Amino acid sequence: MKKNIRKVPTTIQARLKSLRGQDIVAGCSRTYTAEVLHAGILKHLDVALTETGLELPAPKVPPAGSGKFSYRNVFGYEVVRKDLPKETHYNTVETPNYGDSYYGTHTVDLPYEKYPRDFYGPQMSTIKISSPETGPGKDRYTLVFEVERVLNSQRKGFEADLLEALNLLQENVGHCGVQKSGATFGDYVSTMSVSWEVLPPGTREEAVARIFRNRQPTSEEKGRVEERYDFLMSLTPQKLVYGMSGIQRYFGALLDENLVVFENIEYGNAIYIMFDDWKDLSKRTRTELLSGRFGKNFERIPHASGWKGKTKAVIATARKGRKSKGVKHGTS
């Protein structure tokens, strides 16, 4: 599992803006196959899949061995205050009288200097795990993980408390996020899949406005989307597609019924080319797609040097019908 985060990710910062004024919790949802649950991927959290179905524990303090923040949660931690002057401390030792213990010993306090320490006690925060369907025989199970510690962005120390809670999830689940306090299972699941709009191509300005609905993009975001829009239009799409998944925003080009190019507008993400069942595939997370469990009927091209040329080459291959003749589309 991916370990600690040092600062609140930009996607979570954006999510916090949409939840402004509400109490929040660190929480996320993840989908697991029955196979990996049987293998014990969540054994450390006392989650098990047996013949009778999915067994979920009562809210549980995650084990200290899961990582740095899990250890702090159980035992607390010290912070060395190097911003303050050193203090004099003493080590007490027994010293021989006259240099020979035959004559007995006496106590000596040896001074030394060290920086002050602040001790922060253990929080003993628990992770609540829930799922609406726990019966046996399912291929996949969706679980919600929530740190049972309500946070308020107006309180002092909010960001530090949030980072601790996010890292508890990161260390124990491999994923993290935020949600309003009291959120339902449906609220969590709605952030996992993409709902798409398929519309005729419009102007660049209309596309930007639709993608950034209800918020003002930065000049960098606007410029990036305009560039991507111009590229997608160069592919002569039949229609444009727009989607949202929680705070994530997607847009792309429908080239024909079974050929769609789309991407997440966040910098650094890849462009995806899907050949069949794109509406179903687009509901999967990046991790799920790259796992291979949902086939390889797509191509993922990171936004690195030459990505536009690679994208056009894959599209040209698909349009020539080489895919149906055995050309294999992978995730490299």
Q: Which residues contact 322 (CB under 8 A, 6 or more apart)?
A: none
Predicted confidence at residue 33, as pLDDT, reads 85
72 three-state secondary structure: helix
Residue 146 scores a pLDDT above 60: yes
Which of 1 and 314 is assigned the larger pLDDT?
314
For the chain, the maximum distance between any two Cα atoms, rounded to a whole number of angstroms, is 100
Residue 125 scores a pLDDT above 90: yes
Q: Enter the tokens of residue 83.
A: 């911003």
CA neighbours closer than 13 Å in the CB half-sphere of residue 283 = 9
Rounded to an integer, the average pLDDT of 195-211 is 72
Rounded to an integer, the average pLDDT of 81-98 is 91
Residue 100 scores a pLDDT above 60: yes
Rounded to an integer, the average pLDDT of 89-101 is 88
Q: What is the pLDDT of residues 15-36, one digit of tens each?
A: 788 787 788 999 988 888 888 8
Predicted confidence at residue 65, as pLDDT, reads 93
- The sign of the torsion formed by the CA atoms of 175, 178, 184, 187 equals negative
Rounded to an integer, the average pLDDT of 143-156 is 90
Predicted confidence at residue 86, as pLDDT, reads 93
Indicate the range of 146-150, 176-180, 277-281 predicted with least confidence: 277-281
Q: Which amino acid is at 171?
A: E
Rounded to an integer, the average pLDDT of 311-324 is 77
Residue 45 scores a pLDDT above 80: yes
Helical H segments across the chain, by residue range: 10-18, 34-38, 68-75, 158-173, 185-189, 204-211, 219-234, 278-281, 286-291, 307-319
71 phi/psi in degrees, rounded to 5: -65, -45
Average predicted confidence (pLDDT) for the chain:
82
Helical H segments across 255-302, by residue range: 278-281, 286-291
Residue 175 scores a pLDDT above 50: yes
The rounded distance, in Å, linking the Cα atoms of 140 and 49 is 11
Name the pLDDT band for 328 (thresholds 50, 70, 90). very low
Q: Exposure of 26 by Cβ count < 10 A (0-12 exposed, 13-18 middle, 19+ buried)? A: buried
Residue 225 scores a pLDDT above 90: no
Name the pLDDT band for 120 (thresholds 50, 70, 90). confident
235 and 255 Cβ atoms separated by less than 8 Å: yes
pTM: 0.59
Predicted confidence at residue 169, as pLDDT, reads 93
**47-51, 132-136, 189-193, 228-232: which has the highest mean pLDDT?**
47-51
Residue of 122, 284, 114, 277 whose CA lies nearest to 194: 284
CB atoms within 10 A of CB 8: 16
